[in-house]
Amino acid sequence: MADDAASTSPSPGSTPTPERPSRLRRTTSSLALLRESPVGMVGAVLVAFWVLMALVAPILPLYDPLEPLVPFQGMGATAPDGGTLWLGTDHRGRDILSRVIWSSQRVLVWASLATFVAYIFGMAMGCMAGYLGGWWDEVISFFANVLLSFPVMILFVIIVTVLGASGINIVIAVTFASAPAIMRIVRGLILDLRTRDYVFAAQTRGESPWFIMLVELLPNARGPLIVDACLRLGYTVVAIATLGFLGLGLPPPEPDWGMMIKEAVPLGSFAGREMVVPAVALSSLILGFNMLADGLREISLRD
Amino acid sequence: MSEQTPVLECKNLSISYYTRAGEIPAVVDFDVTVNPGESIGIVGESGCGKSTVAMAIMQHLGTNGAITGGEILFKGRDMTKMTDDELRHLRGSEIAMIYQEPFASLNPSMKCGEQLMEVPLYHEDITEKEARARARQILDDVQLPDPDRVMDAYPHQISGGQQQRVVIAMGLLSNPSLLLLDEPTTALDVTVEAGIIKLISGISKKFNTSQIYISHNLGLILETCDRVFVMYSGEVVEEGTIDSLFSWPRHPYTHGLFGCIPLPTADKHAAPLKPIRGQLPLPHERPAGCFFNPRCDHMVPGRCDQAHIPMERVTGSAKDHRVRCCRWEEIDPNAEALSGEQKPPSEIGETVLEVDHMQKYYEVHDRSLKAILSGQTTKHVKANQDLNFSARRGETVAIVGESGCGKSTFAKVLMGLETATAGAIRVGEVDLGALGVRDRTAKQISGLQMVFQNPFDTLNPSHTVGSQIGRVIKRLGGVEDDEKVRERVFELLDIVKLPRDFYYRRPRQLSGGQKQRVGIARAFAGNPEMVIADEPVSALDVSVAAAVTDLLTDIQREYQTTLLFISHDLSVVRYLSDAIVVMYLGWIMERGTTDQIFQPPYCPYTEALLSAVPIADPEVTKREIVLEGDLPSAMNPPKGCPFSTRCPKKIGDICDNEPPPQQEAAPGHVITCHIPLEELKKVEPVIHVPTAEERLHAQARDKTETTS
Amino acid sequence: MLILTLKRLTSMVLIMLVVSFLLFALFETDKLEVAGKVLGPYSSVEQREIWLENNGYNKPFLKRYVLWVGNALRGDFGESIQLKVPVSQVLGDRLANTGILALALFTLMIPIALAMGIFAGMKEGSFRDRAISVTAVATTSIPEFASATLLTAIFVFWLGWLPGTSSMSSGFDWQQLVLPVAVLLMYDVGYVARMTRASMAEVMTSQYVRTAILKGIPYRRVILKHALRNALIAPFTVIMLQLNWLLSGVIVVEVFFAYKGFGSLLYDAALFGDIYLIEACTLVAVFVAVFSQFISDIGYTLLNPRIRF
């Protein structure tokens, strides 16, 4: 840190107009921080791996995940066209590797969308409850409590059975289940931040509540919210996969991990690999999210 | 003295912390000898290593700290070589420690009595009953009222001052040979602090305990210690007896520190503060040679920035006086003291603010069972009670008071975050007391800005310095053009003497002092007519605080701004204000010009407050008035005079039952008290500053004592 | 304290009322749909209307709701459409089965999780801490049905030690409990251990623990008397809230292992559209969740002298 040179510099007015440091450099330097947490690094690598898989699935040399080849092929078997089936085929002869990778895309897309929507609602409600207080807080908090008193999976099952199983309905169910929890976190953060002097300063300049919430408060809540978003993305992936497993998830035929397991379970020991591969894939992604969140939290506490 | 075994000796002690950035030396080459019954003061600014020394003596440096050299001898035994078990027997019984934050230091889920009893139970062969009796006795010794209640209370059920007395009692319980006190009064209010200081300074006499007293406040060290060590950036730069060091400081840093403290003799116009330029170096950025050399006016290249400077004995002073400066013989601190520039007083114009019988009550809902049964669930907290005062253009009015006195509430009403319950706050023709900030015009808002207390809170950590100041200019200055806004921000940065490239910095890249400068720039960005400064320097280190205070008054003088200065520190207030308002529990107890407040007649509360101010000048004497008890809660104030519960001059039931009248002692000097003015006029001044003649006499007397 | 209890009780009742209203509105606003569910998809509109008339469905909506709540309070949730028996009867049996699962889970989970959390949190950053933390995050990261899959693959298909289903069709068999409990345990131990660790680590760095150490009292007592009491306040709340989570978790686990408990009952009811059963199950689940929250709030104030009234 530069010393308080201020008071010594002879005529500060003569200092040349400075240049703005690039945004890129600031972003890379904050990413580099993650290197200091081994747990966070492992998490980041796991998450990055699956995100990458989801992105490149269309251009990888994979078999069609829906096309039946030969059923019950073992690992490394040769496909009818001479290619290798690295993880073998399932009970209907579909390439397991291809299905697992395509699943990641489907799950991640819907999970991100659902988490995003839940965050929009959760943050809006949390800001209003935390900053405006009074009746806003009473009413919003009460309805959040009502929704939170439902065990999550029961809420999912009810919403999906009433509305029907589809991607959009899953987004709605996740929003109902997650938004209240996000609201509580945001509300807590806002309650803490709103007593800061810079908020007081903004209030005494006559800024509107919206300006204060969006410009003064929310940016400072981002640390804990990023950690929470990471965890919540993990929960949402689990929720989507679990609904898939219960047969209430994204509609077939496109694969997702939960559905793959659901199809394999009744076959018992014949379909061991068919069950274990998606289970491992799913667990590794969730582990990634959780470890990344742990790492981020650890780093943010250090500052 | 020299035949006795010292209680504690540190020899060449060096302590380092190990972080990801590598080894960071926190304390270098520290030597101290503490004799039985002696009180040693260690003074320094934050990060100078003073608390690290205390933790090293306790052998509790945490996982990343270690003693890298030297030894710590406790009664001749080297503590660095002791086993955990041996250390455990010393801790709490032979060496005890008293901490900065009493509440955090007590276990929240154990009763105070039980926490006290643990000490004798684990250090002595003693029954539970005896331990209980001992604990009860010691609470009596630290002058806690109602010790039986405290024994059975959880820490949160007693006040801050009482908590600190419990912690002190815990330290004294096994009659230790050495007591370490780490800023024991920093978290307390001034009048409560005075009581604790009196208790502490009596300990060594009563229990013959040696003390190491750590503080950033030279005035407190003066009141409690025999010898003092001044630390800077991990090393002792000067040590000596209180008299020698306070009278003839030899190290440039030491007399620099004295130059930063407003003394009751100082006046901002006649003798402005002399801030030390720059700031403390970070431990891994210490310069070669003398660590102070980049900030020192006497620095000679080639001499001060070469080899590490050893401690040298100051010849001609007391025998313990030693200094770490290679030029101490050449520098004459007194010559320099006279060279302070004189600044013209600011011109005071017409009245701009008039507070007229302003009241602010809050409604508080009491949901306790008792309140519901008695039907009194709504209580009124009288945060501001009938405030009357005015401020003129270019004038500095200080509002002084301890926590809960209502000064922050007043600021909120003035700034429009609350509206007054009754009365008016007139600025020009408008009653701002009735207008919330959203109902005020842009001009009314921009005319009134605020500088905040906490440097870590005052700026939004997510935005750059430039955008935060710029926002004020756009919003209040009416400038829309981005380029013009930027130019104006640069100008403001120049005014607060910060480099222009701070425009793109984020608050976390700034030091505390720099943040406060940005806060000042932000307050002045809308060209305000009046600025409220809420304890703007109380969280800063002394040397930095002086620079910020000076900056604030310079800008104020230049722009003829009215400054409302909220503070608890009467020395600062004496130094920079023209008029003072003394508040207590929502009431104005006394108001008048600075001279009127500091001279009799006094309101008894002002008198106690003046007596509580620690003054870092051994020649200044004070009448000692120590208040009993703690500040009453604002929720439940006394019925009559708010001060009646603690007032040493209480005249009878009238004080308890009737609100005191406002008596005008002189034009503009109002005292709120039941005692007749004639009585109040009879008292002596609390603070006695010797005249030049008396000083010469005193010096001559000291000289003969040292030489004999 | 009394006031707090009353306040919490009121909010509990309010939440139950709102939840029950939402459920009733969701499932029974469309009367014809209800009749269709009861009489089957091939029933005619006339049949349905006769049924509605006979069963008091033509009263105003709010009146029906009040009657429904009154019946529910007396334990009368109607008759299951699918099983043709009173809902309360089947619900009771299934709840008891899930209770066995919960009991087994909690008796194992609480000591294991607390011990792991306390040992890890006692020395933050040590090898022991890192090892426990990584294990905990790994086990919580595996979703229940994935760990059920993996455990089944290992212990049923590969080693052949344990039965793969837990339907208890030929009487109670403890072996059939092992896998469901293990699956729940894997997730929950990790979760509670992490919370305990965080709480313990925070307490260990607190100033009052430092005071206790520097008072010279033995380390054992510092941990047992000063640290633990404060460190266990947060995990207590977390453990109580596990009841809410458990009601989610059992759905997957019971469906996977075909265990005849509350979760699989709710799942079957939802798939079949057995509205009376869904309503009853949900109300019971929400009641258990809200009640455990209530206990946890009260317990928290009892444990924490700082907020006692």
Length of chain A: 303
Which tens digits make up the pLDDT trace of B639-665?
Answer: 889 999 889 988 888 999 999 999 999
Chain C residues closer than 8 Å to B104 by CB: 206-208
Q: Which two tokens stand for residue A301?
A: 């506490």
Task: Tell if the pTM clears 0.90, that is, is over it.
Answer: no
| Strand bridging mode B530-534 / B448-451 | parallel
Amino acid identity at C162: L
Among candidate residues B294, B96, B293, the one with its CA nearest the CA of residue B180 = B96
pLDDT reported for residue A222: 87
Q: Per the omega criterion (within 30 degrees of 0), is the bond before B252 cis?
A: no
C-alpha gyration radius of chain C: 24
From A7's Cα to the closest Cα of chain B, the distance in A is 6
pLDDT reported for residue A12: 41
Interchain CB distance below 8 Å, B452 and A201: yes
Q: Check if C218 contacts B (Cβ < 8 Å).
A: yes
What DSSP letter does each residue of C229-278 carry, written as one string? Answer: HHHTHHHHHHHHHHHHHHHHHHHHHHHHHT--SHHHHHHHHHHHT-HHHH
pLDDT reported for residue B338: 46
A–B interface: beta-carbon pairs under 8 A = 109
Q: Check if C128 contacts B (Cβ < 8 Å).
A: no
Per-residue model confidence as pLDDT tens for chain A (303 residues): 333 433 333 344 445 566 666 666 666 666 667 777 888 889 999 999 999 999 988 888 877 887 777 777 777 777 777 777 778 777 777 888 888 999 999 999 999 999 999 999 999 999 999 998 888 999 999 999 999 999 888 998 888 888 888 889 999 999 999 999 999 999 999 999 988 999 999 998 888 999 999 999 999 998 889 999 999 999 999 999 999 888 888 887 888 898 888 888 887 777 778 888 899 999 999 999 999 998 888 887 765
Chain C residues closer than 8 Å to A279 by CB: 142, 145-147, 149-150
Of B281, B461, B503, the CB nearest to A18: B503
**Nearest chain B Cα to C219, which residue?**
B88
Interchain CB distance below 8 Å, B93 and C216: yes
Chain B residues closer than 8 Å to C214 by CB: 58, 60, 91-92, 96-97
- Top residue of B60, B61, B103, B105 to mutate, by most chain C CBs within 10 Å, is B105
Which of the residues in chain B have pLDDT under 70?
A: 1-3, 264-271, 333-343, 366-377, 695, 698-708
From B64's Cα to the closest Cα of chain A, the distance in A is 14
Task: Give strand pairing partners of B430.
Answer: B427
**Nearest chain A Cα to B296, which residue?**
A8
Distances (CA, A) of C166 to B17, B251, B500, B582, C261: 57, 83, 73, 78, 10
Interchain CB distance below 8 Å, A197 and B514: no
Which subunits count as partners of chain C given 3+ CB pairs below 8 Å?
Answer: A, B
ipTM over 0.90: no
Of A149, A154, A283, the CB nearest to C141: A283
Interchain CB distance below 8 Å, C267 and A294: no
Q: Is B441 helix (H, G, I), strand (E, B) or coil?
A: coil
Long-range CB contact pairs, A65-73, < 8 A, 24+: A65/A94, A65/A95, A65/A98, A65/A99, A65/A102, A65/A254, A65/A255, A66/A94, A66/A253, A66/A254, A66/A255, A67/A94, A67/A95, A68/A92, A68/A93, A68/A94, A69/A93, A69/A94, A69/A95, A72/A270
pLDDT (average), residues C229-241:
88
Of B63, B93, B368, the CB nearest to C3: B368
Chain B residues closer than 8 Å to C211 by CB: 99, 105-107, 167, 170
Q: Check if B107 contacts C (Cβ < 8 Å).
A: yes
Chain C residues closer than 8 Å to B154 by CB: 305-306
CA torsion through residues B519, B525, B526, B530, sign: positive
Report yes or no: A125 and A145 within 8 Å, Cβ to Cβ. no
Interchain CB distance below 8 Å, B437 and A203: yes
**pLDDT tier, C204 (very low <50, low <70, confident <90, very high otherwise):** very high
Chain B residues closer than 8 Å to C304 by CB: 108-109
pLDDT reported for residue B41: 94
Interchain CB distance below 8 Å, A198 and B457: yes
Interchain CB distance below 8 Å, B154 and C226: no
What DSSP letter does each residue of B2-30 carry, written as one string? Answer: TTSPPSEEEEEEEEEEEETTEEEEEEEEE
Task: Give strand pairing partners of B530.
Answer: B448, B562
pLDDT reported for residue C162: 81
Interchain CB distance below 8 Å, C282 and A161: no
Q: Which two tokens stand for residue A74?
A: 């073992």
Interchain CB distance below 8 Å, B106 and C208: yes
Distance CA C259, CA A63 (A): 38
Interchain CB distance below 8 Å, C150 and A146: no
**Nearest chain A Cα to B437, which residue?**
A206
Interchain CB distance below 8 Å, C137 and A291: yes
Helix axes A222-245, A96-127, angle to 10 degrees: 130
pLDDT reported for residue A118: 95
Distance CA A142, CA A134 (A): 12
Q: In this model, does residue C158 exceed pLDDT 90?
A: no
**What angle (nearest 5°) sits at the alpha carbon of residue B349, between those of residues B343 and B353?**
115
C-alpha gyration radius of chain A: 24
Q: Check if C2 contacts B (Cβ < 8 Å).
A: yes
Interchain CB distance below 8 Å, A152 and C248: yes
pLDDT reported for residue C114: 94
Q: Which two tokens stand for residue B112?
A: 């105070």
Q: Which residues of A touch B (CB under 8 A)?
A: 1-9, 12-13, 15-18, 20-21, 36, 196-198, 200-201, 203-207, 215-216, 219-220, 222, 303
Q: Per the omega criterion (within 30 degrees of 0), is the bond before A253 cis?
A: yes
From C229's Cα to the closest Cα of chain B, the distance in A is 7
Report yes or no: B177 and B183 within 8 Å, Cβ to Cβ. no
Chain B residues closer than 8 Å to C299 by CB: none
**Nearest chain B Cα to A1, which residue?**
B509
Which subunits count as partners of chain A given 3+ CB pairs below 8 Å?
Answer: B, C
First to last CA, chain A: 15
- Top residue of B457, B474, B510, B516 to mutate, by most chain A CBs within 10 Å, is B457
**pLDDT tier, C64 (very low <50, low <70, confident <90, very high otherwise):** confident
Of B457, B463, B476, the CB nearest to A205: B476
- The total of other beta-carbon atoms located within 10 Å of residue B636's CB is 8
Among candidate residues B514, B499, B500, the one with its CA nearest the CA of residue B544 = B514
Chain C residues closer than 8 Å to B88 by CB: 216-218
pLDDT reported for residue A26: 60
- Report residue A235: phi and psi, to 5°: -60, -40
Interchain CB distance below 8 Å, A149 and C144: no
Distance CA A256, CA A99 (A): 8
- Report residue B680: phi and psi, to 5°: -65, -30
pLDDT (average), residues C24-39:
80
From B533's Cα to the closest Cα of chain C, the distance in A is 33
**Nearest chain C Cα to B88, which residue?**
C216
Helix axes C144-151, C174-204, angle to 10 degrees: 130
Helix axes A272-302, A222-245, angle to 10 degrees: 170
Interchain CB distance below 8 Å, B372 and C216: no
**Nearest chain A Cα to B492, which residue?**
A13
Of C19, C141, C153, the CB nearest to A272: C153
